[in-house]
Each structure stands twice: as C-alpha cells, then as structure tokens.
Structure 1
Amino acid sequence: MATVMEFTSPSAEFPLGSVFEQLSDVTVELERLIPHETLVIPYFWVRGAAVEDIEAEFDAHAGVDAIKLIDSVEDEYLMRAEWDREYVGILSALAETNLVVLTGVGTNDGWEFEVRGERREDISGFRDYCQENDIPIDITAVHALLPIQGEGYELTDTQREALVMAYERGYFNSPREASLEDIAEELGITQQSLSSRLRRGHRRLIAATLMRQ
C-alpha cells in the first residue's frame, strides 16, 4: 500500500536552502524532482526576492551545475536547477530512494516535506539512508493514502484535512470567513505549507472529476 511520510529538516540540510543564508525572507517550494544518473533536477518556486538575486545565490553553490528561470507569476518564479547527485543531503536521499515529493516548503526556519512511497519499505529505505549519511530529519507523521469514492484517485490525509477545514471555516466563501493564517494556525502548520496542500489537493480533485472522460 502506498504510504505517505511527513518530516521536517533544518533549512541548511536541503541544498536549495542555501539561498536563505543571504535572502532570509525567501520561501522555496519544491514542485517536482527528476533524478538522472549523475544529476538531480529539481523544479521549484521561489518568492520573496528578485530573480537576479535568486540566480546569483544558487550559482554560487558548489552543488549547482546550472540554474534556469522557467516561468514567473507576479512575484513568484519557477526555477530549474541541475544538481550534482554526489552532493549528499535530502535531495540525494530522495533521488536514491525514489520517493515522490508531494510537498516541500522551505523558509529560513526550516523545511517541511510530505513524500510518498509505493511501499512502506520505500519509506524505511529513505529513513535508513538519512541515518547512514547523518542527514537530520524529524518524522512527524506516517500514514496510508486514502482513495476517494473507490475510484483509485488519492488525497493524502493532510490534503484532505486542509481542504475540509478550509471549507468548513468558510475560506472558499465570498467574502471569505477565514484566512490562510487562521486555518494554518489551527492546523499547527505554516501558511506556505497550507497553501501548498490546498493547491495540490485541488489539482488532484480536478484530475479525478473534471478531467475524467
């Protein structure tokens, strides 16, 4: 059965976290991760700084072979990096164990991840890799995916919880009866993590309903 694990890690432990050293107000959100033989290619959104400053900070990192701006939406930038696979850290751990990153949000205060393994053994393999390579992680939850109405489409527990609470608190009403800050505080997570869970939950629900033939 597919299993989801949530964990946190210090900001410096994930290679993309190097940007926080000079740009402390930046938020980085991992979009997807593509492992290759010698490289790991992360796509990620960055907000809170000018794109030139972001590129300069990543260019200076020893693990980065290349970085490119892919798209921008207002003050958010979608970046693509080519990362040396031999650079040991959470990025290499994710690539080596083939876990799927559901959410990954980083700030100067640290990283919050939600990852999926097709088998529970995949989660154990990731944990073992981190222990063997002294990569600090704090596991906060492990749970199975929940199918929606038996159709094989899945939300994580945390995505379902966020969507249901946002609905019940009136976040989707017009005018809104609750803010992201209110709901995030009630769930005990950051606003960035809540925003990511809502967005990915919406994407999965749309794919399971409107996009079905």
Structure 2
Amino acid sequence: MATVMEFTSPAAEFPLGSVFETLPGVTVELERLIPHETLIIPYFWVRGAEAEDIEAAFAAHAGVRDIRLIDSVEDEYLLRAAWDREYVGILNALAEARLVVLTGVGTRDGWRFEVRGEGRDDIGEFREYCQQNHIQIEITAVHALLPIQDEGYQLTDTQREALVAAYERGYFNSPREASLEDVAGDLGITQQSLSSRLRRGHRRLIAATIVQE
C-alpha cells in the first residue's frame, strides 16, 4: 500500500535552500522532481524576489549545472534546474528512494515535505540514505493513502483535510465566503502550504474522475 511521510529539515539541508543565503525573504515551493542517470531536475516556484536575482542565487550553487525561468504568475516564478546527481542531499535521497514529492515548501526557517512511496520499503530506503549521509530530517507523520468513498481516487490525509475545510468554509463558493488566509488559519498552516495542498488535491481528483488515460 502506498505510504505518505511528512518531515521537516533545516533550510541548508535541501540544495534549493542555498537561495536563502542571498535572498532570505523568499519562499520556495517544489513543484516536481524528475530524476535522470546523471542529473536531478527539480521544477520549483519562488516568491519574494525578482527573477534575475533568483536565477543568479541558484546559479552560484556548486551542484547546479543549469537554471532556467519557465513561467511566471504575478510575483511568482517557476524555474527548472539541472542538479548534479553526485551532490549529496535531500534531492538525491528522494530520487534514490523513488519518492514522489507531494508538497515541499521552504523558507529560511526550514523545509516541510510531504512525500509518497509505493510502500514502507521506499520510505525506509529514504531514511537510511539520510542517516548514512548525515542529512538532518525530522519525521512528523507516516500514514497510508486512503481512498475517498471507495471510488478509487486517492488523496493524502492532508489534501483531503484541506479540500474539505475549504469547501465547508465556502472558499469554492461564488462569491467566496472565505479567503485562503481564513482556511489556512483554521488549519494552522501557511497560505502557501494550503494553496499547494489544494492544487495537488485538485490534480488527483481531476486525474481520477475526468481525464481518461
């Protein structure tokens, strides 16, 4: 059974966290991770700085082979990096264990991740890699994916919680009866974390109910 793990890590432990050294006010959200034989390619959103400053900050990192701006939405920028797979860190640990990143949000205060493995063996492989390479992580939760009403489309507990809370508060109503800030406050999480959970939850529901593969 697929297993989800939530964990935190210091800002400097995750390679993308190098941006906080020169741009301490930014927020980084990992969108997806694509592993290759010699490279790991993360796509990530950055908020709180100008695009050229963000690119320069990441380009200075020893593990980065390439950094490109892919898209922008208002003051948020989507970037694609080519990271050297030989660089030891959480990026490589996630790739080696074949974990899917559901959410990954970082600030200068640290990172919060939610990842999925096909079973507890994948989660165990990730933990072992981190221990062997002295990568600091703190696991805060481990749980199984649960189907909603036996329909076959699966959400993590946190995604389901976010969707239900937003629905009950009237966030999806037109006009809206609650803001993202209101719902995030109810759940005790940041607006960025809530936005990520809603987006990924929507993606799962659409893939399971609308898209025919």
TM over 0.5: yes
Letter in 1 for 2:57: E
Partner of 2:76: 76
Partner of 1:208: 208
Letter in 1 for 2:155: L
Partner of 1:89: 89
Q: Is the 8 A contact 2:153 2:209 kept in 1?
A: no
Matched, 1:109 2:109: yes
- Separation of aligned partners in 1, 2:12 and 2:176: 36
User: 1:177 Cα deviation (Å)?
Assistant: 3.0
Aligned 1:17-96 pairs, distance under 5 A: 17-96=17-96
User: 1:180 Cα deviation (Å)?
Assistant: 2.2
Letter in 2 for 1:100: V
Partner of 2:153: 153
User: 1:152 Cα deviation (Å)?
Assistant: 2.4
Matched, 1:144 2:144: yes
CA offsets, 1:38-72, max 9 Å, x none? 11111111121111000100111111011111112
- Separation of aligned partners in 2, 1:146 and 1:101: 17
Partner of 1:133: 133
Aligned to 2:69, the other structure's residue is in SS state strand
Partner of 1:189: 189
Unmatched 5+ stretches in structure 1: none
CA offsets, 1:13-57, max 9 Å, x none? 110011111112211111111111111111111121111000100
- Separation of aligned partners in 1, 2:114 and 2:69: 25
Letter in 2 for 1:11: A
User: 1:131 Cα deviation (Å)?
Assistant: 1.2
- Separation of aligned partners in 1, 2:76 and 2:19: 15
Partner of 2:173: 173
CA offsets, 1:108-156, max 9 Å, x none? 2211111000011111111111111111111111111112333322110
Aligned to 1:204, the other structure's residue is in SS state helix
User: 1:184 Cα deviation (Å)?
Assistant: 2.0
Unmatched 5+ stretches in structure 2: none
Matched, 1:6 2:30: no
Letter in 1 for 2:54: I
User: 1:212 Cα deviation (Å)?
Assistant: 4.1
Letter in 1 for 2:186: E
- Separation of aligned partners in 2, 1:53 and 1:190: 24
Aligned to 1:168, the other structure's residue is in SS state helix
Partner of 2:122: 122
- Separation of aligned partners in 2, 1:39 and 1:203: 26
- Count of paired positions: 213
- Separation of aligned partners in 1, 2:175 and 2:152: 34
